[in-house]
Amino acid sequence: MFMEVTLRRVPPDPNNSPVDGIRILAMLPRHWRTGLRRESGDVIIEVRLDASATARAIRREISRAIADPSVGDWEPAGSRFVPDAAWERGRR
């Protein structure tokens, strides 16, 4: 199972670069399986759920990362759980 967390720049900017998303990924625990994609100007962080990457831990670590001034102004815009099979299909 994966958790997707959508982050939106404040104020919204559909032309923003995913570089901040890469910085946010770099601030997450290194042992987490993560992914990144961009949709309509939003950044979507994908994290595989496991014993250390619980939904609560993921939200806490992403909140900590986006509070860092080096990544600019982002806010969580939503999250959802994606089964492994659906996530793999979306990757092809």
Q: How many CB atoms lie within 10 A of CB 37?
A: 14
Query: CB neighbours (10 Å) of residue 22?
Result: 12
Vertex 45, ends 65 and 55: CA angle to 5°? 80
Q: Is 40 left (phi over 0), alpha (psi -120 to 50) or beta?
A: left
- pLDDT for the residue numbered 4: 94
Strand partners, 64: none
Domains and CATH numbers, the chain: 2-91 (3.30.70.1710)
> Per the structure block, which two tokens stand in for 65?
């990362």
Give pTM, 2 decimals: 0.84
pLDDT (tens digit, 9 = 90+) per residue, 9-42?
A: 888 776 667 788 899 999 999 999 999 998 888 8
Task: Quote the CA–CA distance of 27 and 11 in Å, as a whole number.
Answer: 22
